[in-house]
Amino acid sequence: MTPNFSTIKIAGPAGSGIKSAGQIFSKILIDHGFNLVDYSEYPSLVRGGHNTYQITFSNEKVFATHFNVDLFFSVYPNHWQSHQSEFTKSTLVFSEEDFSNIKSKATFINLPLKEMADQVGSPLVINTLCLGVATYLYDLDVQKAKDLICEAYQKYCEINLNAFNIAYSYAEKNFSKFQIKIKKPKKIVKMGFNEGNEASGWGFIKGGGSFYAAYPMTPATGILHFLANKQTEFKLTVVHPEDEIAAANMAAGAAFTGARSATGTSGGGFALMNEAVSFCGIAEIGMVYYLVSRPGPATGLPTWTSQGDLLHAIYSGHGEFPKVVLAPGDVDESFELSHTALDLAAQLQTPILVVSDKLIGESSSSTKYFPDIEVKINKGKIVNEIKGDDFKRYAFTKDGISPVSFPGTPGGEFLCNSYEHNEFGFSTEDAVLSEKMFQKRMLKTKTALKICPKANFFGSKKAKKLIIGWGSPKGAILEALKLMDNKEDFAFLQLKTLWPINPEIQTIINAFKETIVIENNGTNQLVTVLKSQFDFNPTTIINKNDGRPFFPEEIIDLLTAKK
Amino acid sequence: MINYRSNITPTFCPGCHNFLVYAAMQSAFNALNLKTSDLVINFDIGCVGNMADFFKTYAVHTLHGRSITTAMGEKLANPNLTVCAIGGDGGIYGEGLNHLIAAARANIDITVFVSNNFLYSLTTGQTSPTTPKGARTKSTPLGNVSEPLNIVKVLKSVNSNIFVKSVDAKDIQEVTKNFKEALEFKGFSIVETRQECVAFGKQLKA
Ligand SMILES: Cc1ncc(C[n+]2csc(CCOP(=O)(O)OP(=O)(O)O)c2C)c(N)n1
Ligand code: SF4
Ligand SMILES: [Mg+2]
């Protein structure tokens, strides 16, 4: 039977074009109608070291990259060494090395990259040489490949096409017996190819976002780069200020004037933004914080992945005030929850956090085509016309939400206050009023429960076991369930709103005798959150906290090992 | 005369120079015919920041040190607004100095008023970035070891295109004139009023 998925990986030092080759090959695959999920690893440096880029693709939906690799390219010798556990007996490993004495279950093939690069006249084309070989091995459309190579390299199109042709002909002549069979898609639908950070950016634009301020920090910087590039086209104000404190407070100022506003960072920057989160809480400023996590503490592992900031997000900001924490599980959900977050910020007038991680933020996949999606925007309770001069910005209401006026509106003048205040916004230290104002704000948590995104439930309510998770492990879990023989035994509950916790979650969980929580962190933070809400004792807890994501094969092993 | 005042009676100590600053701000706004609905004032935290309750315009009582960043966000998001920030030497030169330098470099069209009373007064009189070297304050009973900051010198070296002035708060005419000029200035403007804190200033004279 022809397999319906395959995984290709390319490895080499930083600066050798690993990522561009991977991204171009992904686009070639998408042009053939393949679905795919990419994953890349790189150290925190600009030249040297060891970078990898891998793609799992299929004619069907793919949720995560696989651990086992079918086709491996080492653009310089030895970059395959640390990946031997990923090789199977059907793996093909290409590198420029004498493999005559190698002992491995995989097949190693010498690829004369240097000689071919000399023929082209540039050592920079080694990555494109690999593309030529891969295009041949998967029997892909040569013209599509060439078009995308030209699109990517622009004025260096010719030299790269030359490299592609040389490698393709070489493969045709020497590697016909290595061609890899894979089911091709029957039809080609219009898809996008985006990283999670780009998807968040598209969600921001489509959700009416107009102001973004951020200080660079891996792995959140992609949102800043993306929006900075789009600022002219979509009339955005995008600012890179002096620090994260400024970024968050600027975004709050912008939101006060009526902008749909956001900031973004990783854990360290978010630590600095905590004061602003708290400020938005009491001043009732609706704005969005994108928190794209990497492993901490402190500088931690800058270019790796972690779900270690869930509690930091939920408990961010001193004092007690309502907030919402959302977590996309993949790139498409990064788009969706990004525009949802802007709506919630407008509706609830309080900080809305969107927590993802390096795995989602910096991994590309085939997605919906975002530029074509129109989103209906909810602007919340805004007053544009005010009679008299006694406007109560912080009026007591049943749902805790008071109509807001923006500067420029006569009669709507008010003090947006970081101190406790009365209905007009003026400071108060009155005991009764302080308590009442606090209670008014907390009503927004109830309102949030009604309008925040519901959890995803996959599988049957009658399954034997319930997997519970949030964020990026969604991909590996769904991919594992796709591949497992006993998939009917499992259902999967993916929380999209991590705060406040909807009481429905308890009802769903209590219907299962056996529960398995899967998190990419070291201290089971979701378990802590759920335990704080109801009596919860998961049967099994699966963690991983080494900066690496879960892979589907690993999930399968863990689920079958733990009975 | 446009009314910029709220109904709340100012709570500064009797004789505090912030009364003068409060009056001068209103005169300057009025002289420029600024509408309360098109004006946003960002108040830092401190004695002077407490002026927030005495105004009735669009206003934000921001976090300590962040009045300038909040103001920048507002101005960038809506350039039609007249945006200013007001704070003390602690908030603007201490906690928020990074933001002040960044705003001066960007030459963003906002106006900053600094009530420099050479102390942290709301917190009952500790040393500030402008406290004279050697001064014994509550937090430096052995004497302040740092050189005081001369903000005019500093900012002029950061960006020679901005408006930066330091005036004696007691000279109300000069203060009002400079506030008005600063508000009219296209680009970043800052006016420092040198003040004496009647409650804690005695420490500095000892
Ligand atoms: C983050 C933070 N740190 C400390 C404080 C406490 N605090 C309030 S006002 C102030 C200093 C005020 O000094 P200054 O800015 O010179 O204003 P003044 O009271 O002298 O007018 C401090 C440290 C605070 N509110 N927030
Ligand atoms: S403590 Fe000093 S600065 Fe504060 S109100 Fe009194 S006199 Fe003014
Ligand atoms: Mg002071």
Chain B CB contacts of A427 below 8 Å: 50, 52-53, 61
Q: What is the CATH number of the domain that holds A101?
A: 3.40.920.10
Q: Is residue A183 one of the residues assigned to a domain?
A: no
CB contact, 8 Å: B86 with chain A? no
Mutate to test the interface with A, among B55, B74, B97, B105 (most CBs of A within 10 A): B74
Which residue among B37, B73, B98 sits closest to A413, beta carbon to beta carbon? B37
Ligand 1 surroundings by CB, under 6 angstroms: B 45-48, 64, 87-91, 115, 117, 119-123, 128
Nearest CA distance, B158 vs chain A (angstrom): 15
CA distance A213 to B140: 38
CB contact, 8 Å: B67 with chain A? no
Q: What is the CATH number of the domain that holds A229?
A: 3.40.50.970
Using the 3D structure, point to which of A337, A372, A407 is the last residue of a domain: A372
Q: Is residue A413 one of the residues assigned to a domain?
A: yes
Question: Would you say A526 and A519 are in contact if contact means Cβ atoms under 8 Å apart?
Answer: yes
pLDDT digits (tens, 9 = 90+) for A83-134: 999 999 999 999 999 999 999 999 999 999 999 999 999 999 999 999 999 9
A160 and A205 housed in the same domain: no
**Of A438, A264, A426, A272, which Cα lies nearest the Cα of A352?**
A264
CA distance B134 to A509: 66
Say if the Cβ atoms of A246 and B69 lie within 8 Å: yes
Say if the Cβ atoms of B60 and A256 lie within 8 Å: yes
Length of chain A: 563
A335 in helix, strand or coil?
helix
Give the H or E element holding residue A70: strand A69-74
**Ligand 2, atom 6, residue with closest C-alpha:** B13
Pairing relationship of beta strands A364-367 and A192-195 according to DSSP bridges: antiparallel
Backbone angles phi, psi at A11, to 5 degrees: -135, 150
Chain B CB contacts of A413 below 8 Å: 36-37, 56-59
Task: Please count the other Cβ atoms lying within 10 Å of the Cβ belonging to residue B171.
Answer: 15
A351 and A491 housed in the same domain: no
Q: What is the CATH number of the domain that holds A541?
A: 3.40.50.920
A401 and A255 housed in the same domain: no
Q: Which residues of A lie closer than 8 Å to B, measured between beta carbons?
A: 210-211, 213, 237, 239, 241-243, 245-246, 249-259, 261, 275-276, 279, 283, 389, 407-419, 426-427
Say if the Cβ atoms of B38 and A415 lie within 8 Å: no
Contact residues, B window 32-51, toward A, CB-based 8 Å cutoff: 35-40, 42, 45, 50
Mutation pick for ligand 2 pocket among B44, B47, B115 (CB with most ligand atoms within 8 Å): B47
pLDDT digits (tens, 9 = 90+) for B58-73: 999 999 999 999 999 9
**Ligand 2, atom 8, residue with closest C-alpha:** B16
Contacts A–B by Cβ distance under 8 A: 132
Question: Would you say A301 and A366 are in contact if contact means Cβ atoms under 8 Å apart?
Answer: no
Q: Which of A347-376 are b and which e, b meaning 16 or more Cβ less than 10 Å from the residue's Cβ?
A: bbbbbbbbbbbbbbbbbbbbbbebeeeebe
Per the prediction, chain A carries an average pLDDT of: 97
Chain B CB contacts of A276 below 8 Å: 63, 66
Task: Please count the other Cβ atoms lying within 10 Å of the Cβ belonging to residue A20.
Answer: 17
Pairing relationship of beta strands A211-213 and A261-265 according to DSSP bridges: parallel
Using the 3D structure, point to which of A405, A434, A453 is the last residue of a domain: A453
Q: Which of A110-145 are b and which e, b meaning 16 or more Cβ less than 10 Å from the residue's Cβ?
A: ebebeebbebbeeebbbbbbbbbbbbbbbebeeebb
A364 and A390 housed in the same domain: no
A128 and A164 housed in the same domain: yes
Determine the residue of chain A that is closest to B106 in CA distance: A241
- Burial bucket for residue B99 (CB in 10 Å: 0-12, 13-18, 19+): buried
Determine the residue of chain B that is closest to A274 in CA distance: B63
Chain B CB contacts of A412 below 8 Å: 37, 58
- Domain count of the fold of chain A: 4
Question: Would you say B123 and B200 are in contact if contact means Cβ atoms under 8 Å apart?
Answer: no
CB contact, 8 Å: B82 with chain A? no
Q: Tell which atom from ligand 2 comes closest to the C-alpha of B18.
A: 8
Kindly indicate the confidence band of residue A2, based on its pLDDT and cuts at 50, 70 and 90: confident
Length of chain B: 206
A496 and A399 housed in the same domain: no
Q: What is the DSSP string of A400-444?
A: SPPPB--TT-TT---EEESS-B-TTS-B---HHHHHHHHHHHHHH
B194 in helix, strand or coil?
strand
Q: Is residue A348 one of the residues assigned to a domain?
A: yes
A162 and A248 housed in the same domain: no
Q: Is residue A472 one of the residues assigned to a domain?
A: yes
Residue-range definition of the domain harbouring residue A364: 193-372
Q: Is residue A388 one of the residues assigned to a domain?
A: yes
pLDDT digits (tens, 9 = 90+) for A450-473: 999 999 999 999 999 999 999 999
Say if the Cβ atoms of A261 and B6 lie within 8 Å: no
A390 and A292 housed in the same domain: no
Q: Is residue A186 one of the residues assigned to a domain?
A: no
**From the CA of B139, how far away is ligand 1's center (Å)?**
13
CA distance A14 to A50: 6
**Of A391, A380, A430, which Cα lies nearest the Cα of A413?**
A391
Kindly indicate the confidence band of residue A562, based on its pLDDT and cuts at 50, 70 and 90: low
Q: Is residue A325 one of the residues assigned to a domain?
A: yes
A166 and A197 housed in the same domain: no
A157 in helix, strand or coil?
helix
Which residues pair with residue A195 across a beta bridge? A364
Domains and CATH numbers, chain B: 18-205 (3.40.50.970)
Using the 3D structure, point to which of A178, A208, A225 is the last residue of a domain: A178
Most distant CA pair in chain B, distance: 50
| pLDDT, tens digit only, all 206 positions of chain B | 999 999 999 999 999 999 999 999 999 999 999 999 999 999 999 999 999 999 999 999 999 999 999 999 999 999 999 999 999 999 999 999 999 999 999 999 999 999 999 999 999 999 999 999 999 999 999 999 999 999 999 999 999 999 999 999 999 999 999 999 999 999 999 999 999 999 999 989 86
Q: Is residue A187 one of the residues assigned to a domain?
A: no
Ligand 2 surroundings by CB, under 6 angstroms: B 12-13, 16, 18, 47, 117, 121, 197-200
End-to-end CA distance of chain B: 43
Residue whose tokens read 């830092």: B44
Nearest CA distance, A370 vs chain B (angstrom): 25
A388 and A337 housed in the same domain: no
A286 and A274 housed in the same domain: yes
A274 and A286 housed in the same domain: yes
Point out the ligand nearest to the CA of residue B90: 1
pTM over 0.90: yes
pLDDT digits (tens, 9 = 90+) for A208-247: 999 999 999 999 999 999 999 999 999 999 999 999 999 9
